[in-house]
Amino acid sequence: MSTPFMSLTWTDHVTGRRGFLVVDRLVRGVCSGGLRMRPGCTLEEVAGLARGMTMKEALHYDPRARYVPLGGAKGGIDCDPRDPAAYGVLVRYLRAMRPYIADSWTTGEDLGLTQDLVDRAAAEAGLTSCVQAVHPLLDDEAAARGRLTAAFAVEVDGIGLDALVGGCGVAESVLTALDAAGVAPADARVSVQGLGTMGGATARFLARAGLTVVAVADIKGTVANPAGLDVEALLAARDAYGTVDRAVLRPADRELPDDAWLSADAEVLVPAAVSYAVDADNQARIRARWIAEAANMPVLADAERLLTARGVTVLPDVVVNSATNAWWWWTLFGDIGAVGAADPADEAFAHTRRAMRALVGEVLARAGRDGTTPRAAAHALAADRLAEITERFGWYAPDASA
């Protein structure tokens, strides 16, 4: 992995907890990447995620679009989000990162944090918006912010649009892979680890597309039903951290040990919680044919080699979970969300599905041509696009070039 442009470690003067910011690279002076909070978060993990963000941005490059990809970055705080001290730590971290957020780093929610919480803490830390660094790149800032505010106000069946687009992209990636293999959605079963923002939305979209969701896991363990879980009931019974109240389980639903989601009898596995969930040992228990990485870095490299050798296809995170990030920029730059658009959610989902189907199709085709994994193909495609973006737009905006 190439060396990041910038990495820094912050220590909270009140609790001693540590936080990190890694900027992998800049495009026109700006980078993008969410902020995660989890106990045990490391600088190395954040650097890997920042690199992934550079690729996610580049993969969505479309010379015809208004959105021009940014560089990649990531923030991380080593703290349990349920710790009573967590909110104070978050505000102090954002205060310390203020110069970067004001000038070059656009951020948002990731594992352990919700967008509402990040927004509230950012305001308390004296920031206008956690994406204010991109404002100078917009044609009409007021109109762009209006589009984003309007988009964030949209809810579909109890879940905000911002928390749905990512899962819509994951689901479309899965459906594209199933189509390419000639498998009908009704013949596919899915097991999901994590029922938070990404896992929850993915489960909804896959269930609505006709797949049977046979297992989901949250921090408390796995819930399973070979005949299919009632996904909407589980979604409605989540707390703010994506933990499901077991009181809603039906008599035929079973509670299984933590990692039972991994070995579920399903065609598709969706790790949508933590990094490093699938390793060289536990991969042997996987029975699925496809793994769609809704989470960032859930499958370790050694595990992927073994999985590939036995015919399991890993659809890589940089592709599969890239839609949330892209949706922010499609909205802010004005590719979608024009005032008066018929139905903002329909438009966002249609745009997401089109973009993800094209991207996943291209990645699978390249992997087939090159005889590589989809991950290697995605990285090669990202490298091609990154070279073009750098050539066209540069690391710094023209007026700031040093």
Ligand X SMILES: NC(=O)c1ccc[n+]([C@@H]2O[C@H](COP(=O)([O-])OP(=O)(O)OC[C@H]3O[C@@H](n4cnc5c(N)ncnc54)[C@H](O)[C@@H]3O)[C@@H](O)[C@H]2O)c1
CA distance 269 to 122: 35
Binding flag, residue 256, ligand X (CB under 6 A): no
User: How many other CB atoms are there within 10 angstroms of residue 154's CB atom?
Assistant: 15
In the complex, the smallest distance separating the C-beta of residue 114 from ligand X, rounded to whole angstroms, is 7
Which pairs with CB-CB distance under 8 Å and at least 24 residues apart come from 148-152?
Answer: 148/328, 148/331, 148/332, 148/337, 150/337, 150/339, 150/344, 151/331, 151/337, 151/344, 151/348, 152/115
- Residues 56-85, mask of contacts with ligand X (x by CB under 6 A): ------------------------------
- Residues 365-394, mask of contacts with ligand X (x by CB under 6 A): ------------------------------
Binding flag, residue 219, ligand X (CB under 6 A): yes
Output the DSSP codes for 204-266: HHHHHTT-EEEEEEETTEEEE-TT---HHHHHHTB-TTS-B-GGG--TT-EEE-GGGGGG-S-
Which of 50, 272, 288, 336 forms a contact with ligand X (CB under 6 A)? Answer: 272
In the complex, the smallest distance separating the C-beta of residue 198 from ligand X, rounded to whole angstroms, is 4
Which of 118, 215, 268, 274 forms a contact with ligand X (CB under 6 A)? Answer: 274
Binding flag, residue 109, ligand X (CB under 6 A): yes
CA distance 196 to 274: 11
Which of 30, 213, 264, 273 forms a contact with ligand X (CB under 6 A)? Answer: 273
- Report the site for ligand X in 312-371 (rule: CB under 6 A): 321, 324
In the complex, the smallest distance separating the C-beta of residue 378 from ligand X, rounded to whole angstroms, is 15
Cβ nearer to ligand X, comparing 75 with 194: 194
Whether the CB-CB separation of 375 and 383 falls below 8 Å is answered with no
- Taking the C-alpha atoms of 232, 235, 237 and 242 in order, what is their torsion angle to the nearest 10 degrees? 170
- Report the site for ligand X in 133-172 (rule: CB under 6 A): 166
Footprint of ligand X (CB under 6 A): 36, 109-112, 166, 193-199, 217-219, 241-243, 272-275, 294-296, 321, 324
